[in-house]
Chain A
Amino acid sequence: QKEVEQDPGPLSVPEGAIVSLNCTYSNSAFQYFMWYRQYSRKGPELLMYTYSSGNKEDGRFTAQVDKSSKYISLFIRDSQPSDSATYLCAMTVGNAGNMLTFGGGTRLMVKP
């Protein structure tokens, strides 16, 4: 079993829909939780990061972390065709190494 599990999709939604993306993890030492967006044939780019449990909002994006359930979510409001990409969750324990452990990614398609 992988440390971080993520439904690969694809997830297809109409433009304007609310999108919910999720990851579960098994390592309780993870403290920092990130969401990356990766367009086809490009490098991942950081969307948001959250420390420990709680919610964080940035424009149309909201990240939630529930450490008791080892579950994180990313919500995208008013989804746009330009949001079509693969979304990767990532986590780190925040020690001196700072190495990231990624989920497998969910492919999202927003149709006009």
Chain B
Amino acid sequence: DSGVTQTPKHLITATGQRVTLRCSPRSGDLSVYWYQQSLDQGLQFLIQYYNGEERAKGNILERFSAQQFPDLHSELNLSSLELGDSALYFCASSVGTGGSQAYNEQFFGPGTRLTVL
């Protein structure tokens, strides 16, 4: 158990709908990262928040958005869902952001499996 929690475990919805995925980081971790894992694209970085502020953005669609709240939990919002959005969505957390010449281990949660029908 990494200490990162994600809810829900599974989500089944229809095209065009909107869903919210929730992540609670490990105690003491200030950074939250969101990743998408699909069969064709593999595990891809979406977005990072550090202490409530957006720090880095990857291949995140405009239909997707995220935020980190004062209690450090994070939510990933996916809207106008398409069949291709079906994937595993992972949240990871780390103590800091990582500075120059620094590395912060990222701990991954169990993921949310999203199925869009």
Contact = CB atoms under 8 A, between A and B. Distances in A.
Interface of A: 31-32, 36, 41-46, 49, 51, 88, 92, 94-105
A95 B80 CA distance: 33
A94 B58 contact: no
Given A97-B98, A99-B58, A102-B44, 9 more contacts: A43-B4, A44-B43, A44-B90, A96-B98, A97-B55, A99-B56, A100-B106, A102-B42, A102-B43
Going nearest first, the 9 A-B pairs with the smallest beta carbon separation are A98-B98, A97-B56, A43-B108, A102-B43, A104-B42, A99-B45, A32-B103, A44-B108, A99-B56
Interface residues of B, number: 32
24 contacts: A31-B101, A36-B108, A43-B108, A43-B110, A44-B43, A45-B2, A45-B108, A46-B106, A51-B103, A94-B98, A94-B102, A96-B99, A96-B100, A97-B55, A97-B56, A97-B97, A98-B31, A98-B97, A98-B98, A99-B33, A99-B48, A100-B35, A102-B43, A103-B42
Contacts of A41: 111, 113
A46 B104 CA distance: 12
Contacts of A102: 42-44
Nearest to B104: A98
A79 to B, nearest CB: 23
A85 to B, nearest CB: 14
Interface in B36-60: 42-45, 48, 55-56, 58
Nearest to B99: A96
Contact of B100 (A49, A95, A104): A95
A92 B45 CA distance: 11
